[in-house]
Structure 1
Amino acid sequence: YVVAQLGLNNVYYYAFDYMLETMFLEPLLLFMLYYYLLKIDADRRNLLNISSQNGDVSASFNTCTNIQSAENCKEFSETIHGDGNFDLRNINNKLVLKSIRIKLHDRDVRILTYIQNTLHMVSTKEEMLFLIKKLNGLVRLKVDSFKKSCEYLNVEYVEANYNISENDPYLAGLVDTDGTIVYNYAGNRIECNLEFENNKYTSKLNLDNVIPHYKPSVAFRESHKSITFKFQSVKGMVFLYDYFMKNRLYSDFKFYRVSKIKRFIEVRDYKNEAKNSTEFKIYSDFILD
């Protein structure tokens, strides 16, 4: 995002400050995250195995409990659907589920903090079994590895419903970990985009009903072997806003972009005003924010 910002606003020299700030902010955030997690965990157990590479923060859970509510299970399963995975190892010719991992950008550390505050670490096979049972029937994209995890724990796999219901938080979880909220200058709109590898699981995903009155456009990109879901109509922006107000994103910068939609609807027509007009200045200031 820093590179893109420099490309769009190369006359603003403070962009270089943003770039340098990002470079030095990452190790600081990692230190702060690890420090606070240790403070929260009174027993000083390794709650999360944290590592950073290319601006990504990955966290490994040996697994978690305290997810008695269905809502907590949903939120956790959504986050895994991003760059997370079920870590299965072949040990002595036997498949073993070692950990469950979540990977995000370092700007989204708040998501890991939220998960930490909701879920607690466990380390036994019995507790791992508890978690897998809770997630069973909710995993839609990381299916192959989840099936193997079920097999390892002798749990009968339950297929999830791929028709996502109205205002289900599942979409918010996908956007948190794998989606984008962007301003489209040519279309003069704020939109929400998702892109996944095209396979037999992602192709079954139906997001038509999750945001009332707003269906995404679905397309296949042969060059990337991917499938895209795009909420990108001007009329649908208000419905996008309403959905994310009910299902708050834990990625602060994405939620900030969503929160600006209502104000954007008020000023978007100023784009066509004279360049030296007050209205165009209001529009320009809004876009540069």
Structure 2
Amino acid sequence: MVAQMGLNKFYSAIDYMLETISLANYLLFSHFYSAFSICFGIGRGKFINKKNYLRNYLDASGSFNLLLNSQINNYAAINLNNTDIQSAENYIGFSETIRQLFNSEEKFYHWLAGIIDGDGNFDIRKSTDILARKPKLKSIRIKLHNRDVRILTRIQNYLHFGTIITAKNKPYSIYSVYKNEDKIFLINKLNGLIRIKSDSFKKACSIYNIEHIEPNYNISAYDPYFAGLIDTDGSIVFNYNSNRIECNLEFKYNSYTSKLNLDNVIPNYKPYILLRTHNANKTSQRFKSIAFKFQTVKGMVPLYEYFIFNRLYSDFKFYRVTKIKKFIEIRKYQKSDFHSVEFKIYSDFVMDWIQYQNPLWTKVPFVKNLRIK
């Protein structure tokens, strides 16, 4: 009987604990729902579109997750899932949590606009209907090398729509959006953010009677738009002669790229702008390009800080960026004696840097200057 009484007390304690946990969860959810309702005007007799709700408030795994990133256990600045949501462990007010949720959403669409301006396409076609006056937006597409397919899967996981098709016998994949409701949703989200592909984007807005918002070509500090451009059209390169790591962007020169101002996107680091003339396909036809080159030794730290805050989803490029901090510590060893320990450390670093996901590393001219063995 004594044993039974002890067991009953044990069960009672367990029940009490579970009830306490349930009550805490209920209060937590109620508090959030109240704040959420006030922000969005959701009350009796008001409903929200389920599909758009899922698009905005599900995490990449497809689960409802408002407390993704604990700042106690993780470093938010280098969170690979790109979520800046403060955890309840550091809770000050749910308004702050919701604000950070919106910042995370805004961060994604700014980055996506950079991706589309880099390697995206609004596929405008003439309508097959003779009576139709407007052209048709067949799809919104992004085409990337298979090495960077993670960028496409991230977009698909975040948006919860679109398809990815890998080309046969070619090393690239294409993310496509075909459904009208999805195209309209995406156009509205990107309105005011597309800068380089502006001509086709304006036509897409016109097709769906969406008023086009003129973008700001002065890219603000830490804007993820720049990271999207680097993920697609940019390059992270090692300049052996100048002993530094650089970041470069180059576009065909036109009325839109000429307005692009990247002076403020990386605080304390302005790019060198270069205009060049090229021959098109080895013919007499010529075209101009505009290049933005971040290429100073002092700028390597601001460059590193920007991409830690706005990580690249091209693993090849992001790996190179993450090595900047270590490189600053050992770059002075380049001038050491060829047979010294210091130069061996330098050579090992540079070899690792250029070999990562680079099957053409043997073609790099300065490899012959390094101590490989």
Q: TM-score, normalised by structure 1?
A: 0.74
Say which SS state the counterpart of residue 126 (structure 2) adopts: strand
Q: Which residue of 1 aligns with 2:154?
A: 114
Partner of 1:184: 239
Partner Cα separation in structure 1 for residue 183 and residue 348 of structure 2: 51
Q: Deviations over 1:43-97 (max 9, x none)?
A: xxxxxxxxxxxxxxxxxxxxxxxxx932332222111111210011112254101
In the TM superposition, 1:91-240 aligns within 5 A as 91-92=127-128, 94-121=134-161, 124-223=179-278, 225-240=288-303
Q: Is 1:86–1:97's contact at 8 Å kept on the other side of the alignment?
A: yes
Root-mean-square deviation over aligned CA pairs = 1.9
Q: Give 2:121's match in structure 1, choosing from 78, 85, 92.
A: 85
Unaligned runs of 5+ in 1: 1-39, 42-67
Residue 75 of structure 1 is matched in structure 2 by 111
Bigger fraction of residues in strand: 1
Task: Give the secondary-structure state (helix, strand or coil) at the position aligned to 2:114.
Answer: helix
User: With CA pairs under 8 Å and 6+ residues apart, which has the higher RCO, 1 or 2?
Assistant: 1
> Any idea what SS the aligned residue of 2:297 has?
coil
- The alignment covers a number of residue pairs equal to 225
Q: Distance in 2 between matches of 1:272 and 1:131?
A: 52
Q: Partners of 2:150 and 2:116 in 1: how far apart? A: 15
Pair 1:284 & 2:320 matched: no
Aligned counterparts of 2:218 and 2:179: Cα–Cα separation in 1: 34
Of 95-104 and 222-231, more deviation after overlay is shown by 222-231
Structure 1 residue aligned with 2:334, among 266, 271, 279?
Answer: 271
Return the offset for 1:288: 0.6
Counterpart contact for 1:82–1:103, Cα < 8 Å: no
Q: Give the direction of change, closer, same or farther, for the CA distance of 1:151–1:276 in structure 2 (3 Å limit).
A: same
User: Hey, what's the Cα distance between the residues in 2 that align with 1:130 and 1:114?
Assistant: 17
Higher-Rg member (1/2): 2
How far apart are residue 130 of structure 1 and its match?
2.4
For 1:125 and 1:275, locate their aligned partners in 2 and report how far apart those are by CA, in whole Å: 62
Cα 1:286–1:126 shift into 2, 3 Å: closer
Question: 1:210 & 1:142 partners in 2: Cα distance?
Answer: 20
SS in structure 1 at match of 2:119: coil
Per the TM alignment, residue 116 of structure 1 is displaced from its structure 2 partner at its CA by: 1.3
> Following superposition, which runs of at least 4 residues in structure 1 exceed 4 angstroms of deviation?
none
Q: Deviations over 1:108-146 (max 9, x none)?
A: 011111111101227543442222122110100000100
For residues 184-214 of structure 1, give each alpha carbon's deviation from its aligned partner in whole angstroms, at most 9, with x where no partner exists. Answer: 1111100000000100100100010011110
Q: What is the rounded CA distance, in whole Å, between the counterparts of 1:271 and 1:127 in structure 2?
A: 53
Contact 2:140–2:183, Cα closer than 8 Å, also in 1: no
SS of the aligned residue for 2:118 comes to coil
Gaps of 5+ in 2: 1-60, 63-103, 163-177, 279-286, 353-373
Q: Give the TM-score of the pair, scaled to structure 2.
A: 0.58
Aligned equivalents of 2:351 and 2:148: distance in 1?
A: 22
- Deviation per CA, 1:155-209: give whole Å up to 9, x if none: 1211100011111111111000110001011111000000001001001000100
Identity across matched positions, percent: 63
One-letter code aligned to 1:225: K
284 and 143 in structure 1: CA distance in 2 versus 1, 3 angstrom threshold: same
* Local SS of the residue matching 1:121: coil
